[in-house]
């Protein structure tokens, strides 16, 4: 019996998404990789087809779907052999802060645009001197009457170039406890005092725009605060479970895609007149790799089921994020070895996959931080 039970609606959604990606995304990936960005019109097409923010309620333009729709999107996007169209980041990591904690006015203002793709979002947490350590943030937010003035900088912000609304984590410098000083604010592109820095050149994920953000006396309405003042850390902690789970889902799906490709490659490629899949060394390697990927799939499907049931799986998602991303890196690394000389060429799809996989052990909290979180919650 399958752990996850997909309905006919889920299957139809997957089929529609596959057709959309085959037509609107996959043929253009090489161009987007060269241009280092995915055009905004693609986000809009995706949103208008119902493939963004599937869990947003119908009163804000969404379909009010369950988390399995998000799983489907994360899985199908891996089959496009690129990581630039970060729909899962937008739909399942950033927008949930608005839909769960935003005021009714903010929901009415932003959610319909998030659903249809007119608004692309980013979350700005990482700073030059504070990566996975949220308590180390220095970006300041000081209330002045009905406004909030933000000063500081952020870096390595995914969707940093294309985003229309950034959810910025900033602290009140007058509050001593760093965990009680943090709040989240919605900052629109074009707000005076807000500017973008470099479009960062990365080792992988070339079509996924990543940027520096700067705030210099950036004045926004106090009404743009998401949730209660000082509750930013708790909100981040609550939603990071889903962020890490989404990351793990993508890692397992990417490993499955790589295994499908390398199995076919080994069955179709001859060395000295013999298919390399007939070599016992290659067979044992493929079996070992497949075993790890299947273990990852079972682990992730169980966590998805638990997450849908709203169980507290902070320990398990931290474990899953670190293990699945490292498993993905092992998988693509060994797959490249099996490609021989072909694995040194850009025409080999695993070359891009290898580059793209490497950062997954770092973003969404480094794997060392994941182990640290799990250890603390385990009482170690």
Task: List, by residue number, the catalytic residues.
Answer: 243
Phi, psi (deg, nearest 5) at residue 34: -70, -40
The two tokens of residue 262 are: 């390398």
Secondary structure letter of residue 61 according to DSSP: T
Beta strands at 165-171 and 121-124: parallel, antiparallel or unpaired: parallel
Does residue 188 contact residue 203 with C-beta atoms inside 8 Å?
A: no
CA 121, CA 164: separation in Å to the nearest integer? 6
CA 52, CA 54: separation in Å to the nearest integer? 6
Burial class (CB in 10 A: 0-12, 13-18, 19+), 353: buried
- Write the DSSP assignment of 238-269 as a string of letters: HHHHHHHHHHHHHHHHHHHHHHHHHHHHHHH-
Q: How many residues does the structure list for the chain?
A: 380
Query: In the beta sheet, which residues pair with residue 123?
Result: 167
Region at 36 (left for phi over 0; alpha for psi -120 to 50; beta for the rest): left
CA 238, CA 352: separation in Å to the nearest integer? 33
Residue recorded with tokens 């990566």: 131
CA 203, CA 363: separation in Å to the nearest integer? 14
């Amino acid at each position: 019996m399958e752990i996850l039970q997909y309905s006919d609606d889920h299957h139809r959604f997957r089929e529609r998404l596959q057709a959309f990606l085959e037509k609107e995304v996959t043929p253009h990936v090489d161009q987007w990789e060269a241009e280092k960005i995915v055009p905004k019109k693609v986000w809009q097409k995706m949103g208008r087809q119902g493939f963004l923010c599937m869990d947003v309620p119908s009163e804000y333009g969404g379909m009010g779907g369950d988390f399995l729709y998000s799983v489907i999107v994360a899985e199908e996007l891996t089959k496009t052999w690129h990581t630039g169209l970060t729909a899962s980041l937008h739909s399942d990591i950033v927008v949930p802060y608005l839909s769960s904690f935003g005021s009714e006015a903010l929901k009415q203002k932003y959610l319909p645009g998030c659903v249809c793709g007119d608004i692309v979002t980013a979350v700005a947490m990482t700073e030059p001197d504070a990566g996975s350590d949220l308590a180390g943030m220095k970006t300041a937010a000081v209330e002045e009457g009905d406004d909030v003035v933000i000063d500081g900088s952020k870096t390595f912000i995914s969707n940093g170039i294309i985003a229309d609304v950034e959810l910025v984590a900033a602290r009140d410098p007058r509050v001593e406890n760093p965990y009680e000083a943090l709040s989240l604010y919605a900052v629109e592109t074009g707000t005076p005092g807000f500017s973008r820095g470099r479009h960062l050149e990365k080792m992988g994920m070339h079509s996924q725009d990543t940027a520096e953000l700067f705030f210099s006396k950036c004045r926004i309405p106090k009404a743009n605060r998401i949730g209660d003042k000082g509750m930013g850390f708790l909100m981040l902690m609550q939603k990071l479970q889903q962020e890490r789970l989404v990351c793990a889902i993508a890692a397992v799906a990417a490993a499955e895609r790589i295994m499908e490709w390398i199995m076919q490659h080994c069955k179709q490629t001859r060395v000295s007149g013999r298919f390399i899949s007939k070599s016992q060394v290659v067979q044992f390697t493929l079996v070992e790799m497949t075993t790890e990927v299947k273990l990852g799939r079972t682990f992730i499907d169980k966590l998805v089921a638990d997450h849908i049931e709203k169980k507290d799986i902070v320990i398990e998602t931290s474990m899953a994020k670190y293990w699945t991303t490292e498993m993905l890196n092992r998988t693509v690394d060994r797959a490249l070895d099996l490609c021989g000389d072909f694995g040194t060429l850009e025409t080999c799809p695993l070359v891009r996959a290898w580059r793209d996989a490497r950062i997954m052990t770092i973003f969404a909290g480094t794997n060392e931080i994941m182990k640290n979180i799990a250890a603390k919650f385990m009482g170690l």
